Structure formats: structure tokens, C-alpha cells
């Protein structure tokens, strides 16, 4: 049996060493890359946040400068502002692991009742497209539950100045027609506790512990939810509302591996192999010279 040369032994030892090192390093990178996808329960009371800054753990692709952490009587909350000088409205969201059953809880306070805001739990394939979803809308002292029949998409270029209730993003604009009957009234500068117990077909809404009924989703394919939105509706002045004590409980979340995690687990051993081969190619070239 032919003995391995010293160079080959060294190459094997280096390869095995890099492979062993790649396992803990790869797992470390995997875990830091999936911070929001490993929890079945999320809670944020904003008390560990920094006043004046955008709230950590939240996302906003449209006017993120309109969100910040503020103090409300010594209690830290998230402030959301609608500014008329900006073209595309405002939105902020919290992502969570995909699920078809869960509970959303939060507290909200409107600083006045001249404008309004929406709370939206969109289906995963209809994110910020409300036709297949249900929106809880606070508007001018009344709380409404908005479904697809209450929403109309308007054409690009349509004058928007006379519409009082809008949902806007960079691609689409919708007119929201309020139903004739609201589910309850609300007042300015008063906190309201919202609870949404949702399944793939419907959700139960309760405000301040009072049940306001069951509301059915028009469609539910695929039957998953993965984000919670807050956004001010179209306003003709700077309108603000507060959010606090957000709690998200997932009953049957879907576990999956983020594509970036797969990349990170593969890149280290591939890099190690490439480094070893490059080292010996350079060494071989040096010997030939």
C-alpha cells in the first residue's frame, strides 16, 4: 500500500480542519440570519427602544422617516405620521413567521378624529393589496371593518384631492368606501385595545374586551399571513396616531429555511476548498518556476 506524501497529508488535514470549523461558524451565521423567523411569539412594548429613532424590529418601505419612538406620558410608543407633502402615504409593518392561525393584540390611540388609520393583516400573496383581505379602519370617530366590496382601485393620474379616505402605495391607489354602519365609536387621545383571533377563513375582532363579531375573508389561497401593517389613511394635514403593546401569537407557524441561510451554510466549505486548492496551485507554480 502506497503511503501518502507529506504534502497530501497536510492537504487532507487542512481540508478536514476547515470543514470542521465551517460547521459551528455556519450554524452561527444561520441563527443570526433568521431573527424574526424562529419565534412563535413576538411582543413589543417599545420600552427598550430609543426615543426619536425608527423602532427596531419594524419595517417601512414607504416614508420610514414618518415613524419614530416617542414618549407618551412617560410610556414609550410608536408614533406614525401622515404628511401631505409626500406623494405615497405612509406604512409600517411587523413581519412574523408564516401562519394560518394566530392572535394579534395591540393598543392604538388617535391624536384626533379628523382623519384616520388602518390596521391590516394581509394574506401573503396579497401584501398591501386589500381586495382579498379585511382592514380595521379608524375614521372620524367610528371604527369600520372594510372588505373587498368597500374598496375600489382608481386609475393612475386620477385627481385625488377630493377623496377623504384612501390607501396608497407606490404602485396602486384605492378608494375606501366606509360601510353605512360602524362596529363602534372611538374618541381622540384615548387608548383602545385591539384583539384579532384569526384563522384562514375569518377573524374575531374585540376592542377593549368587547366582542364585535366574526368577519370572513373573501378568499384564502394560499391561507397564510406573515405581516401586520399600520398606516394612516389619506389626510389633508399632518395626522398622527400611536401604537403600543404589540403582541403576535402564532398557533401553527410554518417552519422553513430562509434561502440566505442555505447560502451561508454552503459558502464556508466551498470557500475552504477554494482556498486550499489555490494554496497548492500557487505552491506548485512556485516549484515549477
Q: What is the pLDDT of residue 189?
A: 97
- DSSP secondary structure code for residue 96 in this structure: E
Residues above pLDDT 90, as percent of the chain: 41
Give the model's confidence band at 204: pLDDT under 50 very low, under 70 low, under 90 confident, else very high. Answer: very high
* pLDDT score at 32: 53
Instruction: Check: pTM over 0.85? Answer yes or no.
Output: no
For residue 28, the model assigns a pLDDT of: 62
Residue 160 has pLDDT above 60, yes or no: no
Answer whether residue 35 shows pLDDT above 50: no
Domains recognised in the chain with CATH numbers: 6-34+258-288 (no CATH), 41-250 (2.60.120.560)
pLDDT at 78 over 50: yes
The residues near 241 (Cβ < 8 Å, ≥ 6 apart) are: 79, 80, 108, 109, 110, 111, 117, 138, 230, 232
CA–CA separation, 220 and 168 (whole Å): 23
- Condensed to tens digits (0 to 9), the pLDDT of residues 12-22 reads 676 677 666 66
What pLDDT was estimated at residue 263? 63
Question: Cell numbers 401586520 label which residue?
Answer: 228
Amino acid at each position: 500500500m502506497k503511503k501518502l506524501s507529506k504534502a497530501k497529508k497536510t492537504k487532507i488535514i487542512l481540508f478536514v480542519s476547515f470543514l470542521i470549523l465551517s460547521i459551528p461558524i455556519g450554524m452561527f451565521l444561520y441563527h443570526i440570519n433568521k431573527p424574526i423567523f424562529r419565534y412563535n411569539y413576538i411582543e413589543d412594548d417599545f420600552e427598550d427602544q430609543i426615543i426619536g429613532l425608527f423602532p427596531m424590529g419594524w419595517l417601512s418601505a414607504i416614508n420610514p422617516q414618518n415613524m419614530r419612538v416617542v414618549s407618551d406620558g412617560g410610556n414609550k410608543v410608536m408614533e406614525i405620521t401622515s404628511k401631505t407633502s409626500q406623494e405615497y402615504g405612509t406604512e409600517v409593518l411587523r413581519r412574523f413567521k408564516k401562519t394560518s392561525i394566530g392572535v394579534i393584540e395591540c393598543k392604538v390611540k388617535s391624536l384626533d378624529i379628523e382623519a384616520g388609520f388602518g390596521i391590516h393583516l394581509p394574506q401573503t400573496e396579497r401584501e398591501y393589496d386589500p381586495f382579498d383581505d379585511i382592514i380595521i379602519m379608524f375614521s372620524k370617530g367610528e371604527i369600520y371593518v372594510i372588505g373587498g366590496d368597500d374598496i375600489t382601485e382608481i386609475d393612475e393620474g386620477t385627481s385625488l384631492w377630493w377623496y377623504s379616505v384612501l390607501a396608497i402605495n407606490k404602485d396602486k391607489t384605492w378608494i375606501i368606501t366606509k360601510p353605512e354602519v360602524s362596529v363602534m365609536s372611538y374618541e381622540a387621545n384615548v387608548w383602545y385595545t385591539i384583539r384579532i383571533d384569526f384563522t384562514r377563513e375569518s377573524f374575531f375582532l374585540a376592542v377593549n374586551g368587547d366582542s364585535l363579531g366574526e368577519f370572513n375573508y373573501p378568499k384564502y389561497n394560499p391561507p397564510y399571513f406573515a405581516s401586520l401593517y399600520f398606516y394612516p389613511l389619506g389626510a389633508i394635514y399632518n395626522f398622527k396616531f400611536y401604537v403600543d403593546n404589540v403582541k403576535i401569537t402564532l398557533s401553527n407557524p410554518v417552519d422553513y429555511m430562509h434561502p440566505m441561510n442555505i447560502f451561508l451554510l454552503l459558502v464556508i466549505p466551498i470557500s475552504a476548498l477554494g482556498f486550499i486548492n489555490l494554496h497548492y496551485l500557487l505552491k506548485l507554480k512556485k516549484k515549477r518556476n
